[in-house]
Structure 1
Amino acid sequence: MTDWREVMRRVPRARFTPPVVWADLGPGPWARVDRDTDPQEWERVVALDQPLITQFQDGAAEGGGLATSSLSMPTVVVEGLDQLAPYDHHRVLEIGTGSGWTAALLADRVGGTNVTTVEVDPALGMRAAERLKASGCEARVVVGDGAGGWPPGAPFDRVHVTCAVPQVPYAWIEQTRPGGVIVVPYSPGFGCGALLRLDVLPDGTATGRFVGSADYMMLRSRRPAGGQAHEWVDAARRDVRTSRTRIDPRALRHEPVSVDVTVAALVPGVLSRYYEAEDGTTTLWVLDRDDHRGPWASVDYEPDRSDFGVEQAGTRSLWDEVEAAYVRWLAWGRPDITRFGLTVTPDTHAVWLDDPGNVIGPPPGP
């Protein structure tokens, strides 16, 4: 087994960190850390075991909006690379180059000429290629949509994905040899994502288990449109159905990640958004991933209440579906994420519990 901590000592994160990063250093917004103005603080922050944001709004903003590129926290990187478990001389495809750091780590393990890394953002890809070259790494940097993989380099022995997907692109499976491994953050839209390790079979199927939580940025071509919950809700708020629930909606935010996988499988095609105020009130939104004017639901938590207000609109009662899925997860005995798995074929994504034959619900929407 590879000692990735030792690899990180040979390939330090600082070598691939941009001069300006944003870090979570306490209450409030992300803190901007600039190597040129405060090199000691920059070195201290880069050495922390936490993610560092390197880009917002696809490079169109600084320090605000949607974070669109980062350096992952080292312990999370190690977890993914441990699951990937490449052998000597394995050919590795990486999706999401970012700063180039994980490509360099992989190159240290299998040799630079065996690593191909794909980055959708031309500016990020260019800077990563420069850093890799400066460090003596021969990894190939390709600019393009990672959802298509890189057919000229196939077949690959390993596929390492550094961004989340709501479905595993079948191109990755097609480009992986039988017995090969794909490690990918799976995030169908409800709650947080989960890290998934897939084995590719000779018949073109890929199957494997979830191994833990994984809160990653979405592959750019797979992001849902919009961001704030109100963007899904018709301003007139017509035909709103009101009710009450005794389920605390905060549970859907704070329970283990296995509940997120369960809800995503049993309530296909939905997103969640969660908002919390300083007075302790919260709102959980459940939204149709593909239709901004489609079904939606909201549940409001208020301290000291025995039940909570629900609003629903559209052709589906989304909160009722989510609540039923959550109760089903409880009835199963709150199974751990490692009991769940996913099987992918050209036509289906099937989430299962304990055994691939025990599919728990329809696949999430594309």
Structure 2
Amino acid sequence: MSIGERITALTDRLTDLDDKWRDAFHAVPRHLFIPDKAWCHPDDGPGFLIDRTADPEMWLDVAYSNASIVTQIDDGATDLERGQGDYTSSTSAPGVVAAELKLLDPYDGDEVLEIGTGTGWTAGLLASRLGDESVTSMEIDQVLLATATEHLQQAGLSPRLVLGDGAEGWREGAPYDRVHVTCGVREVPYAWVEQTRPGGAIVVPWMPRWAGGHLVKLIAVGDGTAVGGFHSGVDFMLLRSQRWSRPRLEEVYRKSTTYLDPRRVVRSSYGAEVAIAGMLPEVCGTHETQDGGEFHLSLWSDDSDAQVHYAPDYKGVAILQRGPRGLWDELEAAYLQWVSWGSPHRDRFGMTVTPEGQHIWLDSPDRSLSVPMNFGE
């Protein structure tokens, strides 16, 4: 199968692509941006090494599959062949790229600031669609930027590439019509709002501490704020300046029980995920199903943690909490608050970013989750 046939087969599966983006996918072949050795990270199975020298056909098959391909681990400190460690750069799955580009929806002539050059593939897609002179892409890692430059040159493209912290944006080229973010953020940097022209858009993978991530499209209002809504679920590597680590606590746990099944909390819907993340922005959680139908939920913040264990043979759920906060108590209250609102879906929530920070709201920007809400007014 030729490269062109592989690209056609891939784009035929991506419903978010219009004809112009399809043309860009053909003009900027994905395999030019993938190293000879990389780690495939599919959604439906374990990861595996791809090696162009050892198996060139399999390498090409993966390059034109709808899978993300990890190209750096532990900021380059760990060999890709191991496949273990923190993934710190990748070529995103084409389906995710297509969804984000559809939301970006640039007009001909728009100027775009991209945060996170990575391998250079999405910068190349933007440059092919809009022209080299219309695209500025920022990368904080000098090695990644040098490699992306080589990839783009092979594709015959030369958008402006900038070495720097993407959280600060690039004021020299502002204002921009679109800001395209290829890394996850917990807090949207206000510099991006400042550097977007009124009516311009910021498309960003929001990766809160609680549960999964969500694509958000924000529109700059022109008064120093940006407002927008939530779209599809995503999983992106974090902006380097917003990484975090789990604290170590030495205090003794406080014991209690609850009748709320923790499985309901973590499996309800994307709407519950957004609501909880909006009300409890500092709370993280992981969970696992164990043998015999048991279920364990771990929660933590900067100064507290909690362990929640469900066992089918007991009506009560065991709770252990320590630190100044009762994280399970807070999570239980936030979840039941969401239920009391009628269990609204994700598309009823939105985000506003101001100079003071960001907040999540339900149905209207004046109904922030961070303040009491009265729907009777």
TM-score by length of 1: 0.90
Equivalents in 2 of 1:70, 1:199: separation in Å? Answer: 27
Query: Structure 2 matches for 1:69-80, cutoff 5 A?
Result: 69-80=89-100
Q: Match of 1:59?
A: 76
Give the match's secondary structure for 1:250. helix
Equivalents in 1 of 2:71, 2:290: separation in Å? Answer: 28
Give a deviation string over 1:97-145, Cα, whole Å, max 9, x none: 1111101111111111111111111111110011111211121111111
Q: Match of 2:10?
A: none
Q: Which one-letter code corresponds to 1:324 in the other structure?
A: A
Equivalents in 2 of 1:319, 1:78: separation in Å? Answer: 38
Q: Match of 1:328?
A: 337
Q: Match of 2:365?
A: 356
Q: Match of 2:49?
A: 32
Equivalents in 1 of 2:291, 2:51: separation in Å? Answer: 31
**CA shift at 1:25, angstroms?**
5.7
Q: Indicate how the Cα distance of structure 1 residues 319 and 130 shifts in structure 2: closer, same or farther if over 3 A, else same.
A: same
Of 56, 60, 82, which residue of structure 2 is paired with 1:43? Answer: 60
Q: Which one-letter code corresponds to 1:34 in the other structure?
A: D
Equivalents in 1 of 2:88, 2:200: separation in Å? Answer: 29
Q: Match of 2:264?
A: 251
Q: Match of 2:179?
A: 159
Check conservation: 1:262, 1:329, Cα contact below 8 A. yes
Q: Indicate how the Cα distance of structure 1 residues 264 and 152 shifts in structure 2: closer, same or farther if over 3 A, else same.
A: same
Equivalents in 2 of 1:141, 1:41: separation in Å? Answer: 31
Q: Does 2:131 align with 1:131?
A: no
Q: Does 2:255 align with 1:242?
A: yes
Check conservation: 1:193, 1:257, Cα contact below 8 A. no
Q: How big is the alpha-carbon RMSD for the aligned residues of Structure 1 and Structure 2?
A: 1.9
Equivalents in 2 of 1:26, 1:175: separation in Å? Answer: 35
Of 22, 33, 40, which residue of structure 2 is paired with 1:23? Answer: 40
| Structure 2 unaligned spans of 5+ | 1-16, 372-377
Check conservation: 2:209, 2:281, Cα contact below 8 A. no
Q: How many pairs align? A: 351
Check conservation: 2:206, 2:215, Cα contact below 8 A. yes
Q: What percentage of residue pairs aligned between the two structures are identical? A: 44
Q: Does 2:320 align with 1:311?
A: yes
**CA shift at 1:279, angstroms?**
5.7
**CA shift at 1:261, angstroms?**
1.6
Of 85, 93, 97, which residue of structure 1 is paired with 2:117? Answer: 97
Q: Which one-letter code corresponds to 1:18 in the other structure?
A: P
Check conservation: 2:190, 2:357, Cα contact below 8 A. no
Q: Indicate how the Cα distance of structure 1 residues 278 and 128 shifts in structure 2: closer, same or farther if over 3 A, else same.
A: farther
Check conservation: 1:18, 1:99, Cα contact below 8 A. no
Query: Structure 2 matches for 1:120-269, cutoff 5 A?
Result: 120-226=140-246, 232-234=247-249, 236-238=250-252, 240-269=253-282
Give a deviation string over 1:328-365, Cα, whole Å, max 9, x none: 22222221211110111101312111111111226xxx
Check conservation: 1:183, 1:198, Cα contact below 8 A. yes
Query: Structure 2 matches for 1:266-345, cutoff 5 A?
Result: 266-277=279-290, 280-288=293-301, 291=302, 294-345=303-354
**CA shift at 1:278, angstroms?**
5.8
TM-score by length of 2: 0.88
Q: Which one-letter code corresponds to 1:8 in the other structure?
A: F
Q: Match of 1:229?
A: none
